[in-house]
Structure 1
């Protein structure tokens, strides 16, 4: 029968196998270290540089975006101030235009009122003159009927008419 120690020997390699395995492992390690490791390191460094570059670009883009936003906010604030100023100027100009229109309308109304007043006074004066003339004619006719004769002299008629008008004016006062 096979003992436990002999079974263990089956699983343990011989010393020459261990030696040659170590030699091959060292050769493979040196070959890997000389040829593959620099290429892997270059790829890793390149990826790290790309990542760092991407991070730097992202930070720069964020910085640019913040600057653009600040500039936009400043322009928006300036635009609001300018719009407010334009609105205030428009209101002031509208008030000025309304005041000018009101002043012109009042001046026109005063002129129309004055013209109408002068026209009324002129018409009143004309009516008064016409009325005085008619009153004179009526008074002369009435005096002629009362006296029973016609007043023939124009001078007599004029003086009589003037006296009657003067009496009427003095009675009014």
Structure 2
């Protein structure tokens, strides 16, 4: 009998045929689990997904804004650099022009100072020459008068006569020098 009970029990519970109560309990558990997942878990996942998508989009927008700001700053920097170079070139050219003007002014002042010094030297030389001529005329006149007095044997103390003798003597000397220079 034991064997018969086992056979009957084994025929009644076929492992390939599911039990109705197990299907019902499993379906009910699945429905409860599906309700909990749909009601609580999926909205939490959707909320997290939306937050992450928003954060990523916000990060992209911030990155694009930062990139645009960086590009604007770079353009401004390039413009300032160009302006600074242009200003440096302008200042350099002004300095060159100013240097050339200062050099021209200094050359002009040096030339005028040189001309003034040369003119002053000519005037001084002419004055010294005239003084030397006057001094020589006086000395030559005195010597000529003394010599003529000794030769003639009479005194030539008369100033008018002495002046005539000296002038005639000097005129003869100048005529001889002119004739000697032209030969």
Relative to structure 2, which stretch is displaced further, 45-54 or 160-169? 160-169
2-structure distance, mates of 1:152, 1:78: 94
Other-structure match for 1:81: 86
Deviation, structure 1 residue 35: 1.7
1-structure distance, mates of 2:97, 2:14: 111
Q: Within 5 Å, which residues of 2 pair with 1:13-162?
A: 14-162=19-167
2-structure distance, mates of 1:152, 1:83: 87
2-structure distance, mates of 1:11, 1:149: 188
Provide, for residues 81-126 of structure 1, a one-character-per-residue CA deviation record: whole Å limited to 9, x for no partner. 1101110110110010011011001100100010011100110011
2-structure distance, mates of 1:13, 1:126: 157
2-structure distance, mates of 1:33, 1:167: 149
Larger Rg: 2
Structure 1: tracts of 5 or more residues without a match: none
Which consecutive aligned stretches of 4+ in structure 1 deviate over 3 angstroms post-superposition? 8-13
Q: How many residues are treated as equivalent by the alignment?
A: 170
Q: Report the 3-state secondary structure (helix = DSSP H, G, I; strand = E; otherwise coil) of the residue aligned with 2:155.
A: coil
Q: Report the 3-state secondary structure (helix = DSSP H, G, I; strand = E; otherwise coil) of the residue aligned with 1:149.
A: coil
Structure 2: tracts of 5 or more residues without a match: 179-183
Provide, for residues 33-64 of structure 1, a one-character-per-residue CA deviation record: whole Å limited to 9, x for no partner. 11221122111101110111001100110111
Deviation, structure 1 residue 152: 2.6
Which of these residues, 140, 164, 171, is aligned with residue 166 of structure 1?
171
The TM-score normalised by the length of structure 2 is: 0.85
